[in-house]
Amino acid sequence: MSTQVPETETETEAETDVEHSEPLAPAQEERMRKKAEARADREERARREAAERADDDEDTYHLKVFRFDPEVEGKQEPRFDDFHVPYEKGMTVLDALIYARDTFDSSLTFRHSCRQAICGSDALFINGRQRLGCKTQLSDLDQPVRVEPLPHADVEKDLVVDMDHFYDQMEAVEPYFDADELPDGELEEQRQTRENREKVKMSTRCIWCGACMSSCNIAAGNNEYLGPAAINKAYRFAMDEREGEDRKQHRLNILEQENGVWRCQTQFSCTEVCPKDIPLTEHIQELKREAVKNNLKFW
């Protein structure tokens, strides 16, 4: 919407608007200032009370949370804020972050959705390792619990990183099923053998959290590398017996490129951090073998 004043507005109307708006602006600004100060006082009081409880209460967990806000002056320099969160049995890192946001600092920003390790939105760097916040128990971690955004990604605010590049890599392998032929009957299933289903089953568990991509040193230094998540997604379709031969050949051609499977150096870091226990490195190695067989010629 344009903020330019319309040319058709008369001088009298403009003066009338100014007369009505000028007295209101300072009052509104004063109310907003008082409201912000009151909120800051509440948050500071909550921090002090939590810190006092932490001295006497063994059931309080100490969180050191990464903070960064490029749009707010005074918060553009990265730092760590301390939160002391009352512990309850079964409490996860995500639970603690939600408590800290709702109780101490409403500006604390992070992604979360299902809280059941399905959506993949709350992948974080917790105590030096990529983990899902909703799946990580506080009781399994040493204090202070250090919570940071995923490495090797641009930070937008606090614990939120830009996932556009990750999604672009996932789309690059064309992650959709494409068969040469469909069943004749309108309601007839496109059948798959039990053995083939077992073969691709683990690869279907990917939740697009980006933890594997963040842990990969090759992906960190090469933005063109497809990365373990995208290659695993390609594996899911390339190894499906229902995939059309032309589509499989096309998919293998994508994976055989310079920044495809051959960039993997078999470090197993992606496999170690995957929250769904997908054998990512094994899938990449199997696709390497398929690529070799695809290029073998016998005369």
Domains annotated for the chain, with CATH where assigned, are: 38-161 (3.10.20.30), 164-180+193-295 (1.10.1060.10)
Q: At what angle do helices 228-238 and 164-172 cross, to 10 degrees?
A: 30
Alpha helices in the chain (DSSP H): 11-21, 24-56, 93-103, 164-172, 194-201, 211-215, 217-221, 228-238, 245-255, 269-273, 280-295
- Sign of CA pseudo-dihedral 181, 184, 185, 188: negative
pLDDT digits (tens, 9 = 90+) for 126-166: 999 999 999 999 999 999 999 999 999 999 999 999 999 99
Q: Considering just the CA atoms, what is the radius of gyration of the chain in Å?
A: 26
9-13, 58-62, 77-81, 184-188: which has the minimum mean pLDDT?
9-13
Per-residue pLDDT tens over the stretch 170-186: 999 998 888 877 778 77
Q: What tokens appear for 201 in the block?
A: 């089953």
pLDDT digits (tens, 9 = 90+) for 191-222: 889 999 999 999 999 999 999 999 999 999 99
* Under 8 Å between Cβ of 173 and 226: yes
Cβ–Cβ < 8 Å for 105, 154? no
Looking at residue 19, its pLDDT comes to 44
Let me know: does 128 contact 111? Beta carbons within 8 Å. no
Token output for 25: 């602006």
Residues in Cβ contact with 141 at an 8 Å cutoff, skipping those fewer than 6 apart? 93, 126, 127
Q: Would you state the structure tokens that stand for residue 109, as one six-digit string? A: 């920003």
Give the pLDDT mean for 2-13.
40
Given this model, what pLDDT does residue 255 score?
93
- Lookup: tokens for 190: 């496109």
Work out the pLDDT band at 297, boundaries 50, 70, 90: low
For the chain, percent of residues with pLDDT exceeding 90: 65
Q: In this predicted model, what pLDDT tens digit does every residue of 226-251 receive, in sequence order?
A: 999 999 999 999 999 998 888 888 99
- In the three-class reduction of DSSP (H, G, I as helix; E, B as strand; rest coil), residue 182 is classed as coil
Q: Are 231 and 190 in contact (CB under 8 A)?
A: no
Read off the pTM. Answer: 0.77
What CA–CA distance (Å, rounded) separates 215 from 110? 19
Pairing of strands 60-67, 145-148: parallel
CA dist., res. 225 & res. 238, Å (int): 19
CA distance 32 to 91: 36
Single-letter amino acid code for the residue at 282: E
Query: Angle at CA 112, nearest 5°, toward 76 and 217?
Result: 65
| Gap between the Cα atoms of 240 and 86, Å rounded | 48
Dihedrals φ, ψ of 95, to 5°?
-60, -45
